[in-house]
Amino acid sequence: MSLSPQSAQLYEKVKSVILPAEWSEFAPDVDAILALKRERNAVILAHNYQTPEIFHGVADIVGDSLALAREAMKTDAEVIVLAGVHFMAETAKLLNPGRTVLIPDLRAGCSLAASITAADVRLLRQRWPGVPIVTYVNTSAAVKAESDICCTSGNAKKIVESLGVPKVIMLPDEYLAQNIAAETKVEIVTWAGHCEVHERFSAADVRQLRIGHPGIVVLAHPECPPEVVAEADFAGSTAAMADYVSREKPGRVVLMTECSMSDNIAALNPGIDFVRPCNLCPHMKRITLPKIRRALETMRHEVTIDPAVATAARRAVERMLAIR
């Protein structure tokens, strides 16, 4: 099949990670999505875990959860399509109540967001009176609404320390909370939520990688268990890992995180050898080019938030964004 000039040009960006035959399958949807974005005055925000044909092919803004939240605030497009999971779309909506925010598949959830409810947070407040509640953005708007402030993996330590108190409650990711507790004097009360992708990595995996690939640089997301982070060379948010690779240019690297991360940054860093014992996030992978195209054609699925919940949840997100 012959490619349009724009999709032929885009293919140059991804040819190291997508086969020509695969790109021929993607190209009609890429062309249609680019046209629909102009027609609808829409932007596509894509998380670093989206597949390369989305990340490099149709996204306007890419990044980690923190960058997507910050960038969502800056756009003047009428429509925001969130190529990521539901809590990310809710955050974009909280920060842009007047715009239409679409998610291509409403079932794109998150095991962390599913691990805690607003009622759980209210009970924790009763159990620990006066202790501030720091909530990871990987939560529903209803949970954020019960919280004092949000954080992401990119700013968690800074947020915890900004409160100037000896003890905080940090929800819902137990491993992120333990990893931050190892870096700060602030005492952290945890909740037993886990990311179903990162909890599957073990310290034994890291040791095996070092035996199988001498000299390999190991990067880990802080949602990994603490023993994985302890054995890694560097731990940081998805954006921090991407920056590390671009800056340090390791000869061989492994990212203990979701599979598409390696594809996306490999396309930007030719010559680096990526070893890929990655795990897939089934929620992130619900977002596909055909579903993005359909979202823009039908203007579905629109993300809405109960105004009473939205006001309190927005306050927690805005308090986070105010801390630089």
Pairing verdict, β 167-171 and 79-83? unpaired
85 in contact with ligand SF4 (CB under 6 A):
yes
Identify whether the C-beta of residue 225 lies closer than 8 Å to the C-beta of residue 202: yes
Site for ligand SF4 in 177-206 (CB under 6 A): 195-197
- Interface with ligand 13P includes 135 (CB under 6 A)? no
Query: Rounded to an integer, what distance in angstroms lies between the CA atom of residue 252 and that of residue 230?
Result: 19
How far, rounded to the nearest angstrom, does the alpha carbon of residue 205 sit from its chain's CA centroid?
Answer: 23
- Report d(CA 244, CA 235) in Å as an integer: 10
Using CB under 6 A, pick the residue from 50, 111, 135, 138 that binds ligand 13P: 138
Is residue 237 a contact residue for ligand 13P (CB under 6 A)?
A: yes
Q: At what angle do helices 5-14 and 20-40 cross, to 10 degrees?
A: 120
64 binds ligand 13P (CB under 6 A): yes
237 binds, among ligand 13P, ligand SF4, none (CB under 5 to 8 A by kind): ligand 13P
Regarding 174 and contact with ligand 13P (CB under 6 A), the answer is no
In terms of CB distance, is 37 or 283 closer to ligand SF4?
Answer: 283
In whole angstroms, give the CA distance from residue 201 to residue 288: 26
State the binding string over 23-52 for ligand 13P (x if CB under 6 A, else -): -------------------------x----
Cβ neighbours for 238, distance < 8 A, ≥ 6 positions apart? 47, 48, 49, 63, 64, 153, 221, 257, 258, 261
Residues that bind ligand SF4 (CB under 6 A): 85, 110-112, 138, 195-197, 223, 258, 281, 283-284
Interacting residue ranges for ligand 13P, rule: CB under 6 A = 48, 64-66, 138, 152-154, 195, 221, 223, 237-238
